[in-house]
Amino acid sequence: MKSQRILPGIILIGFGTYLFLQQLAIGFLLPLLTWPTLVMIIGIAFLAQGYSERVYESILPGVMMTGIGLHFHLAGKFAFWPNHTIGMFVLILSIGFFLRLQKVGTGAFSAILFLILAFMLLFYDRMAAYLGFLQNGVSLIWKFWPVLIIVVGLYFLFRKRK
């Protein structure tokens, strides 16, 4: 059985540091002392557990939590950072699958699928402008494409393995 000391150790150190900095009330750090920081601390703990203890199943939740915390810290503060939250969540998920793929060797299809979906979500405006000559067909497809995502998800859940 793998050691379970890294995850709780980093979470306790991170939360303790967070609470200590909150009590000190240092002005320039106050914007960082919000819930996304707590999510990032947990995510970093999962990543440390995944890589240092070779519990590779911890990589995906670690990337998701760290990425979501980072996204909520950066969204709206930097012009280059996308405000499209669902697109960023899917991109972070894709990055997590790619990092997990490096260690486990499985999940390439999911990583690529989520990467394509993320780019579709993040760059919809540019894609719609580029495909402007197909406006009616594209708008109809765009209106119902979440149903396609649901159908693909159901296919993955209920397909029979050979």
Most confident of 27-31, 79-83, 90-94: 90-94
Q: Where do the domains of the chain lie?
A: 6-122, 123-162
**Residue 96 confidence (pLDDT):** 93
The pTM assigned to this predicted structure is 0.78
Radius of gyration, CA atoms only, the chain: 20
pLDDT-derived band at 4, boundaries 50, 70, 90 = confident
Q: Which residues contact 52 (CB under 8 A, 6 or more apart)?
A: 6
**Whose CA is closest to 87, among 131, 109, 120?**
120
Q: Summarize pLDDT for 25-62 with one digit per residue, the tens.
A: 888 888 888 899 999 999 999 999 998 888 888 899 99
pLDDT of residue 68: 93
